[in-house]
Structure 1
Amino acid sequence: MVTGLAISFFVLSFVPYVAIPLGNSTNISFAAVIATILIVRLIRRPMFLVLIILLCICPLLATLLRLLFQSSQVNVNAYFTSFFIILTFFGAASATDVLRERSVAVISFCISASAIIAILQKYLYLDKGVVPWIEIYNVPGYASVAQNAQTIALYIKRPFGLFPEPSFLAGTLALAASGMLVLMAHYRLQPRASIILSLVLATFTIFISDSGSGVICIAILAMAILIPYVRRYRIVILLMPVALATAIWLGLSIAASRQDGMNTSWNDRFASIIGGARLWTSDPLTFLLGVGRGMVPTRFGEDDFAFAGMTVYSNIPDIYSVLGRIVLENGILFGLPFIIWMAVLILRLGGQRAILIGVLFTVLWAVVAGLTISYETAAWIWILPGICLAFSLSNRSIDTRRSDVRFEDPSRSQ
């Protein structure tokens, strides 16, 4: 039963519309619900129990401290959903601990399936002026596809598969591919044909999604795949400039396509982040403790200075950055430490001796969570550091009988 739940958790992380509506503006994904069940097996470990309690009370503690200095509204639904976000993080650690190397096959299948759906959506429907499966894109908390269907089909034409938007799709595939590579290295698994296929499909789908940060994700994934083989195959060194040149070409292609279409999301995204930074630094209390969970839309509506002097093409109801929202809502005392801890988990890669690879995946995670995906319900923002958490806190030994390349810095072999 636990194995089935772990598999279901990873599968549902790729279908965010399978969710429970919570009010008119948010939802709880079924992946997060399953994560809640999975963490029951972890609370027997004191370290996990302490971490879960600590992270769950941080948003509440920030609000209580803020209320001591000034009265403010409290968004109960937002605090409720924050618990499930944290549980998704720990649920990923539990699912990884259950499946171990089998999780690679599950993630590989999900990447391939998601990519194929997006590719079919692009070339069979969107390029012909039709938005398919429009009935499924109807869950509170995500932008309405139905209301924008004509613009999407006639002008934008960017695939989004089973996700709310193209950037959500691209970011999820990039993070999932990274997680799969980390798992393969940790358990020393051979790159089978199905895994190679999933990486190719993920890369192609990220490219056709025209995601602004897609080129960074593609470049990082290419380098992460090639670097471990530098020690064994010196010719790989010659492929690095080729990979870099290809990434630059892809970036220029994406930029050109975005300039030719009705895509102004880059401008509005950066405007929201700058506006959030202005709001965060507007007074010492907000800087230290944030504005409170779910209160960013209210403060954006009240404080006109946030977007003063900036050109925006649409109404900006929230900050379009998951990491930015964490800091803006919880302040530097309770938001920033959580982000740093997750980044350190990825940087260490579960204790593997691979600083360069860790840096690459940390940068990729920061780009996706900070500049690509706006929805904090994007499960893979939390799953990737959750996988690394499972490695860091697990007492199980690796099966050293396996003999393939691990993530190791080439310099250590000299």
Structure 2
Amino acid sequence: MNAQAQLPTAFDVQRIRADFPLLARSVHGKPLVYFDNANTSQKPQSVIEAVDQHYRLHNANVSRAVHLLGEEATAAYEGARDSLARFINAGSRNEIVLTSGTTQAINLVAYSHALPRLQPGDAIVTTVMEHHANIVPWQIVAARSGATVKPAPIDARGELIVEEFLKLLTPEVKLACVGHVSNVLGTVNPVRELARECRRRGIPLLVDGSQAVPHRPVDVQALGCDFYAFTGHKMLAPTGTGVLWARKELLQAMPPFFGGGEMIREVRFDGTSFAEPPHRFEAGTPNIAGFAGVSAAIDYYASVGFETIHAWEQQLLAYATERLRDIPGLRIFGEAKDKEPVISFLIDGAQATDLATLLDLQGVAVRSGHHCAHPLMQFFGVPATLRASLAFYNTREEIDAFITALLKVRKLLL
């Protein structure tokens, strides 16, 4: 973590917090401390209003009507594609496939790119620290094709052992996958280095960026990967929204993942022709209002600035980590040199679920469980952890309240 990150003097966290209505509420008679941002972020008023305005003023389906409402809905939906292309510096708006989230985006690559190419004896490389969404789809297509999935190991600090990852990139590997940032450990993986080495070997690299895009600017062209997936609801936007970015030549070579309306050029019983990417992969009615919210979320990030966001979050991460280390019997999982504001931990003698339940009664929302990362839990030899994940609208005072509550519930349990 970068504890020395310099915060711009103009940053006013209380002004930022005023933009997020839910942060003002109480739970169980206590002021809410929301530290479950890695699961889903809260939404600023501008995003809420964008969704509300769509349903109040513009509600219609996309690309199927010549009336004004249909044109407005289509403009909002396609406008989100343009905003997202700029947000991650895609080479073209046509490289942006709009999905329901990271899970659908990764499954799209699994079934449309990987499965048609896999043969018995082939392999897919992923890592021990991945979310299940970046493991299970590969297992399914591997089982269907006779391929295998090879996990790259990590060390005790929760950092990817890069040389071991590279050793796995043998000629039978047809795809490599890695999370940009671990949802459990906060570890930032060296995506540029991995992409460079994959490219040298002719192996496409897919990156799960769900935990990266809320915290740092992402430039897919600079990263050098081949696929990049992320979800809207972790980056201030509505649920049911997500993105798959892929290189144009890869999308053009991929068959449709599922069929229906809007993804076709012409349907005949003697054969159907499909639309060009990205619409080839967007069958059915999409979450139009949700993507109006995505555009508003991107605008909000631009108004704050990722330099400011990164500096504040790194200060919060350093402060929270320091306070947690002072608690007797507390073990932190994941102490990588480069990490985002996610802290997973346990207290000796206390169950993670018990701690989370009692913290909720004190107004503190944290996550307990395996965090959709069973292999990572198995690596550390624990069934679950408690996870506090921070965002730029959190404060030092909230960390102090969290620590006070944690000490109180620790005393009750031990």
TM-score normalised by structure 2 residue count: 0.25
Based on CA coordinates, which of the two structures has the bigger radius of gyration?
Answer: 2
Structure with the higher strand share, 1 or 2: 2
Structure with the higher helix share, 1 or 2: 1
